[in-house]
Chain A
Amino acid sequence: MSDLETLEQSLLSDIASAADEQAIEAVRVAALGKKGSVSEMLKTLGAMSPEERQTKGPVINGLKNRVTDALTARKSELRDVAINARLIAEKVDVTLPVRQSPAERGRIHPISQVIDEIAAIFGDLGFAIAEGPDVETDHYNFTALNFPEGHPAREMHDTFFFPPDANGERKLLRTHTSPVQIRTMETQKPPIRIVIPGKTYRQDSDATHSPMFHQVEGLVIDKTANIANMKWVLEEFCKAFFEVPSVKMRFRPSFFPFTEPSLEVDIQCDRSRPGEVRFGEGNDWMEILGCGMVHPNVLRHGGLDPDEYQGFAWGMGIDRIAMLKYGMPDLRAFFDADVRWLQHYGFRPLDIPTLFGGLSA
């Protein structure tokens, strides 16, 4: 065996036995470095005769190429080994839990969600949303709404009052959202189509009455709006809100000082399953709202001529329709801020009600 063959075998054996990238680099330097064994061989070519170079040259270069290839291959092998070793070392327990996203933890209160649902529906019917203050005057809450002084209807409202001011006038907490009807008529010319969600207050407290509650009022005023239109709007609303293909509603003549004619509306439902109300089926009637044609005196108080303008209004409890739709049993829990209740009955922050995506998920 020639020296070259011996060298080659020795180098290839070193390459094969190099255990890591550092060892392989040492082999490379020993063979192909400036003073490496193969490099030294290559240097001898310069001193050779052309003939000798012609025979030795390819042999030495062949050796160099084979050693280079072997080095490259072994290096690649060793990198794979190193990477694999690192990957094994880096292994973690992926079953460890991660923290829940804040957006999954947060909740929107059912009242806010239902108000957004109402806004989505009435927005589609061309209504705007109006608001007004909770602390009201007797004028806006009663007088302008055709509640005669001393009338029993006024007393049925169980009003919260503030102390009288220097002029003997006492402000009150609005007992309904209807004062905003007058405030709107005072500032906006018909046609008017508004819904008014907001807080209302009455001195009353049990499982279905709370001293603070939420109402949504609707008002349409133009030159033609009538009871037939009102029936249509309310039926469309109930279908859309309760997300059922059809509802049966019963309109009963009733009395409110600020509407004439006045009606109360019952919705047909099935309450045979405990804790659940199904609409569009069943044999029960449940009262859900009051409505009627805006009383001529109310139009006058709003600065409108009742022979020129006409319209209808309705009001219903937001908390109540929320309870009916989503099955909350007790109104008092709405205002307790118990996070277990909010977690259960609340809505995820990114579930924004729309008509195109369905009101509720």
Chain B
Amino acid sequence: MKFTLSWLKDHLDTDASLEQIVERLTSIGLEVESVDDKAALKPFVIAKVLTASRHPDADKLQVLTVDTGDGKPVQVVCGAPNARAGLIGAFAAPGAYVPGIDVTLSVGKIRGVESHGMMCSERELQLSDEHNGIIDLPADAPVGTSFATYAQLDDPVIEINLTPNRPDATSVHGIARDLAASGLGKLIYGAVEPVDGEGACPVKVSIEAPELCPGFALRLVRGVNNGPSPKWMQQRLLAIGLRPINALVDITNYVTFDRGRPLHVFDAKKVAGNLVVRRGRDGDKVMALDGREYVLTPEMCVIADDNGVESIAGIMGGEHSGCDENTTDVLIESALWDPITTARTGRALGIITDARYRFERGVDPEFMVPGVELATKLVLELCGGQPTKTDVTGYAGYTAKVVSLPLSEIKRLTGIEVPKAESLAILTRLGFMPKGDGDVVDVTVPSWRPDVDGKADLVEEVMRIHGVDNIAPQPLGAHDAVNGKILTTLQIRTRSARRALAVRGMMEAVTWSFIPAKHAELFGGGQDSLKLSNPIASDMSDMRPSLLPGLIAAAQRNADRGLSDVALFEVSGVYENDTAEGQRRVAAGVRRGTAKLEGSGRNWSGNSGNVGVFDAKADAIAALEACGAPIDRLQIEIGAPAWYHPGRSGVIKLGPKVVLGTFGEFHPRTLEGLDVSGPLCGFEVYVDAVPEPKAKPTKTKPKLELSAFQAVKRDFAFVVDKAVEAGTLTRAALAADKKLITAVSVFDIFEGASLGEGKKSIAIEVSIQPVEKTLTDQDFEALAARIIDNVKKQTGGVLRS
């Protein structure tokens, strides 16, 4: 919403400065977006050409002496054909910035003759496109004074960023009302006097869609002379960015801003028959005033005559019945339009107009008829003519809302005590009508405030006018104890997983929740219920089923920039379905190139090899450990999802059912589908699948039992079939004596012809911790026999000879 200071002062009697007004507007909730104080025009003064003679070296230039008002004429070289002795125009001295040519003037020589300034054209001052000559002012223009002031171009323009709840402030009058209520001057009421008319309006209106049009006022003015509007009106419209068209159109625009009352004018001679307000019909089209054709639907409201659609209700009129300089009979429309339909129609057609802006917020129904009267008055003043009576159709009148306001509510919600008298005075100045003497008053809401429904709304009115700055901060009641834990288990695990993975040299990425459909499909997603209907880009269409595609693509982007060894992770949401429960919390990571835990690339102490399945496995287990998963009970199995390399990937489980994660290298087809290359591995663990820790009555740790007997290590090497998994073998060894054997580790894997076809050797180190007595040789032999026995039973392996 834009307006000028002088326009505001038509409605507000105030001595306040521009700065005060701007500051107050913001502080009462009408946030000032920008102020143009027209300082750019300050350097230009009115000056008179005393003499003009031909430039000695240029046919098209003249050398002028110019009186700028200080009694010392200056010499100016000028190329304008209308420059002549006696002309009074706008002069810019050296040092002035001329916006139209983007030049700061200095004393210069033009073809050998010094020039001490410039006589300017309208275009050079960015007043218009006029550049056929310099500005030519009437003979009584006061030489030496400000050109902007003389031409009334120094009127500051204020733009406010209006919140959608304030239709009343879409008018200069409404803004003045708010400022007056805040004590910054007096509102000039400017009641609209009805203009008498003769005879009924010959064009009748029938409303076939009353739910979309709660009222329609129409009046005909015959015999108008539609020339340009007066300069003062043109200047105000230009100042707020509107192009003057002709008096009739300019009047509608003027009233739209002056009173927040959009109007439309039809050239009555172009209207065939009567007007019908109805929903659009399939096949309806209209060429609108913006010169574009729009196709209308039954969700939209239109005004039609016998020729078809003449106007898109509340948004834009049609070109066919628009007013131009030949218009002699004008129909003035002031109607009410359903806000939601107006908003939807405007959105669907992509039309933003000042009318839509107001109707979708809600136009004051009680100003529908005064709107016609005001417009008629202006038409008669500017264009002449004879009006008919105003014909009002469908308007049932306005029933005011009454809100019961306990005055204590102001203190309850804001924390500040506003005296009752002041509260009531504020409401009254805003146009509310409070009634009652008690602590609860009934407040009648004015017709221009559809946003006010309840007592909280009235509290806001009192608060913003009384001044938010008057509310002193008060501490929120302190808690009476040391703060307890504020995070949920899931939140703690999310944080721990992040720090644990970062400590492993990985960098945390935040990638898009929506990914290309193809990527989603490669990772088990892509279902319709998780596809956006209106993605911002075609490759951001599907909610991700996994963090991996985003991370792999990110790794590739880095590789494309020459950073081929990267380790990235993310702890965030993935989407299995569109329910709240279907959003899983996942920790995932990828390593690319040689980005191993200990470092990447070449090094004098040994180069890093390519990343692989075991790097991913170690990351996965580290993440799970940080999440508090019982690491000693994890089961590693084959059978990871299809996007992994089937022989170099695994699933991490807890018991037969709970899948905690997957890890591995990727299937070549997956990488192909993602259009990436290079050594890559990755993992994904479900943070939300890790079981909650059991609540314990105490934080005491179990007693530390230290054996008095020396721990011993024994090595075994077994020859097994190649298919036997090391995990099976170590579990078998561990199970041989759960009391004595504390750990089993694999220290060598060997395959060779000496072992026989399809065989391999697995060497393990068994840690034995005697608990009751030092073990004898016989004890060790018996234990070894049990280990060998159990391994044979579980894996078919035999001790390597």
B512 touches A254 (CB 8 A): no
B486 touches A109 (CB 8 A): no
Instruction: Tell me whether A229 and B415 are in contact in the complex, defined as CB-CB below 8 angstroms, given that A106-B505, A116-B495, A251-B469 are known contacts.
Output: yes
- Is residue B233 contacting chain A, with contact meaning CB distance below 8 A? no
- Is residue B9 contacting chain A, with contact meaning CB distance below 8 A? no
Binary flags per residue of B1-32, CB closer than 8 Å to A gives 1, else 0: 00000000000000000000000001111010
CB-defined contacts of B347 to chain A, threshold 8 Å: 155
Q: How far is the CB of B730 from chain A (nearest CB, A)?
A: 27
Q: How far is the CB of A228 from chain B (nearest CB, A)?
A: 3
CB-defined contacts of A343 to chain B, threshold 8 Å: 507
B413 touches A293 (CB 8 A): yes
- Is residue A45 contacting chain B, with contact meaning CB distance below 8 A? no
CB-defined contacts of B543 to chain A, threshold 8 Å: 135
B486 touches A152 (CB 8 A): no
B578 touches A227 (CB 8 A): no
A346 touches B507 (CB 8 A): yes
Binary flags per residue of B433-471, CB closer than 8 Å to A gives 1, else 0: 000000000000000000100101101100110001101
Bound-complex Cα distance A171 to B460 (A): 33
What are the 9 A-B residue pairs with the smallest beta carbon separation, nearest first? A228-B415, A253-B29, A102-B505, A150-B340, A349-B502, A261-B460, A255-B163, A106-B502, A337-B554
B512 touches A163 (CB 8 A): no
B29 touches A199 (CB 8 A): no
- Is residue B580 contacting chain A, with contact meaning CB distance below 8 A? yes
Per DSSP, chain A at the interface is mixed
Among candidates B360, B490, B568, residue contacting A339 with C-beta atoms closer than 8 Å: B568
B164 touches A96 (CB 8 A): no
Q: How far is the CB of A266 from chain B (nearest CB, A)?
A: 9
B533 touches A229 (CB 8 A): no
- Is residue A153 contacting chain B, with contact meaning CB distance below 8 A? yes
A155 touches B476 (CB 8 A): no
- Is residue B561 contacting chain A, with contact meaning CB distance below 8 A? yes
B557 touches A336 (CB 8 A): yes
B456 touches A102 (CB 8 A): no
Q: Which of A13-21, A30-38, A81-89, A121-129 contacts B (4 or more CB under 8 A)?
A: A121-129
Bound-complex Cα distance A220 to B477 (A): 11
A107 touches B507 (CB 8 A): yes
B460 touches A253 (CB 8 A): yes
A226 touches B491 (CB 8 A): no
Q: How far is the CB of A26 from chain B (nearest CB, A)?
A: 40
The residue of chain B having its C-beta at the shortest distance from the C-beta of A214 within the complex is: B510
B487 touches A129 (CB 8 A): yes
Instruction: Tell me whether A161 and B575 are in contact in the complex, defined as CB-CB below 8 angstroms, given that A254-B29, A261-B459, A350-B503 are known contacts.
Output: no
Number of B residues near A (Cβ < 8 Å) is 96
Q: How far is the CB of B78 from chain A (nearest CB, A)?
A: 41
The residue of chain A having its C-beta at the shortest distance from the C-beta of B551 within the complex is: A337
Q: How far is the CB of A132 from chain B (nearest CB, A)?
A: 7
CB-defined contacts of A177 to chain B, threshold 8 Å: none
Bound-complex Cα distance A284 to B564 (A): 43
Q: How far is the CB of A257 from chain B (nearest CB, A)?
A: 8
CB-defined contacts of A203 to chain B, threshold 8 Å: 534, 536
Bound-complex Cα distance A201 to B499 (A): 26
CB-defined contacts of A98 to chain B, threshold 8 Å: 605
The residue of chain A having its C-beta at the shortest distance from the C-beta of B451 within the complex is: A255
Instruction: Tell me whether A135 and B575 are in contact in the complex, defined as CB-CB below 8 angstroms, given that A106-B506, A163-B533, A342-B508 are known contacts.
Output: yes
A260 touches B457 (CB 8 A): yes
Q: How far is the CB of B110 from chain A (nearest CB, A)?
A: 39
Can you offer 11 A-B residue contacts whose CB atoms are under 8 A?
A: A99-B599, A106-B501, A107-B507, A150-B343, A152-B360, A163-B531, A227-B463, A227-B471, A293-B413, A334-B510, A337-B510
- Is residue B511 contacting chain A, with contact meaning CB distance below 8 A? yes
CB-defined contacts of B457 to chain A, threshold 8 Å: 260
User: Which residues of chain A (289-336) have a CB below 8 Å from chain B?
Assistant: 293, 295-296, 306, 310, 334-336
B483 touches A340 (CB 8 A): no
B568 touches A162 (CB 8 A): no
B475 touches A232 (CB 8 A): yes
A105 touches B505 (CB 8 A): yes
- Is residue B498 contacting chain A, with contact meaning CB distance below 8 A? yes
CB-defined contacts of A264 to chain B, threshold 8 Å: 31
B460 touches A260 (CB 8 A): yes
- Is residue B344 contacting chain A, with contact meaning CB distance below 8 A? yes
B510 touches A111 (CB 8 A): yes
CB-defined contacts of A108 to chain B, threshold 8 Å: 498-499, 502, 508
B468 touches A340 (CB 8 A): no
User: Which residues of chain B (532-583) have a CB below 8 Å from chain A?
Assistant: 532-536, 540, 543, 551, 554, 557-558, 561, 563, 566, 568, 571-573, 575, 578-580, 582-583
CB-defined contacts of B503 to chain A, threshold 8 Å: 102-103, 106, 349-350
Bound-complex Cα distance A152 to B457 (A): 18
Q: How far is the CB of B219 from chain A (nearest CB, A)?
A: 30
Bound-complex Cα distance A140 to B101 (A): 55
B511 touches A335 (CB 8 A): yes
The residue of chain A having its C-beta at the shortest distance from the C-beta of B413 within the complex is: A293
CB-defined contacts of B31 to chain A, threshold 8 Å: 252, 254, 264
- Is residue A71 contacting chain B, with contact meaning CB distance below 8 A? no
CB-defined contacts of A350 to chain B, threshold 8 Å: 499, 503
- Is residue A70 contacting chain B, with contact meaning CB distance below 8 A? no
Instruction: Tell me whether A229 and B558 are in contact in the complex, defined as CB-CB below 8 angstroms, given that A254-B29, A310-B413 are known contacts.
Output: no
The residue of chain B having its C-beta at the shortest distance from the C-beta of A306 within the complex is: B456
- Is residue B504 contacting chain A, with contact meaning CB distance below 8 A? yes
- Is residue A133 contacting chain B, with contact meaning CB distance below 8 A? yes
Instruction: Tell me whether A163 and B568 are in contact in the complex, defined as CB-CB below 8 angstroms, given that A106-B506, A232-B474, A338-B558 are known contacts.
Output: no
- Is residue A225 contacting chain B, with contact meaning CB distance below 8 A? yes
The residue of chain A having its C-beta at the shortest distance from the C-beta of B563 within the complex is: A339
B566 touches A226 (CB 8 A): no
Among candidates A99, A112, A153, A310, residue contacting B598 with C-beta atoms closer than 8 Å: A99
Q: How far is the CB of B513 from chain A (nearest CB, A)?
A: 6
Among candidates A100, A106, A231, A293, residue contacting B456 with C-beta atoms closer than 8 Å: A293
Bound-complex Cα distance A222 to B479 (A): 13
- Is residue B165 contacting chain A, with contact meaning CB distance below 8 A? yes
CB-defined contacts of B491 to chain A, threshold 8 Å: 129, 131
CB-defined contacts of B165 to chain A, threshold 8 Å: 153, 255
The residue of chain B having its C-beta at the shortest distance from the C-beta of A231 within the complex is: B473
Among candidates B339, B413, B488, B508, residue contacting A261 with C-beta atoms closer than 8 Å: B413
Instruction: Tell me whether A160 and B532 are in contact in the complex, defined as CB-CB below 8 angstroms, given that A252-B27, A352-B499 are known contacts.
Output: yes
A119 touches B486 (CB 8 A): yes
The residue of chain A having its C-beta at the shortest distance from the C-beta of B568 within the complex is: A337
Binary flags per residue of B160-184, CB closer than 8 Å to A gives 1, else 0: 0001111000000000000000000
**Can you name 17 extra interface pairs (CB under 8 A) apart from A135-B530, A150-B340?**
A96-B605, A103-B505, A106-B501, A106-B503, A106-B504, A112-B510, A133-B583, A160-B532, A161-B532, A163-B529, A226-B413, A227-B415, A227-B463, A232-B473, A251-B469, A337-B568, A338-B561
Bound-complex Cα distance A155 to B535 (A): 16
Q: How far is the CB of A176 from chain B (nearest CB, A)?
A: 15
Among candidates A100, A132, A151, A255, residue contacting B599 with C-beta atoms closer than 8 Å: A100
Bound-complex Cα distance A342 to B508 (A): 8
Binary flags per residue of B329-355, CB closer than 8 Å to A gives 1, else 0: 000000000011001100100000000
The residue of chain B having its C-beta at the shortest distance from the C-beta of A263 within the complex is: B468
B164 touches A170 (CB 8 A): no
Q: How far is the CB of B685 from chain A (nearest CB, A)?
A: 17
CB-defined contacts of B26 to chain A, threshold 8 Å: 252
- Is residue B694 contacting chain A, with contact meaning CB distance below 8 A? no
Bound-complex Cα distance A293 to B409 (A): 12
- Is residue B604 contacting chain A, with contact meaning CB distance below 8 A? yes
B530 touches A162 (CB 8 A): yes
- Is residue B414 contacting chain A, with contact meaning CB distance below 8 A? yes
The residue of chain B having its C-beta at the shortest distance from the C-beta of A116 within the complex is: B495
- Is residue B116 contacting chain A, with contact meaning CB distance below 8 A? no
Bound-complex Cα distance A163 to B529 (A): 6
CB-defined contacts of B696 to chain A, threshold 8 Å: none
Q: How far is the CB of B291 from chain A (nearest CB, A)?
A: 26
- Is residue A233 contacting chain B, with contact meaning CB distance below 8 A? yes
Among candidates B361, B508, B529, B580, residue contacting A133 with C-beta atoms closer than 8 Å: B580
Instruction: Tell me whether A112 and B557 are in contact in the complex, defined as CB-CB below 8 angstroms, given that A102-B597, A129-B486, A171-B578 are known contacts.
Output: no
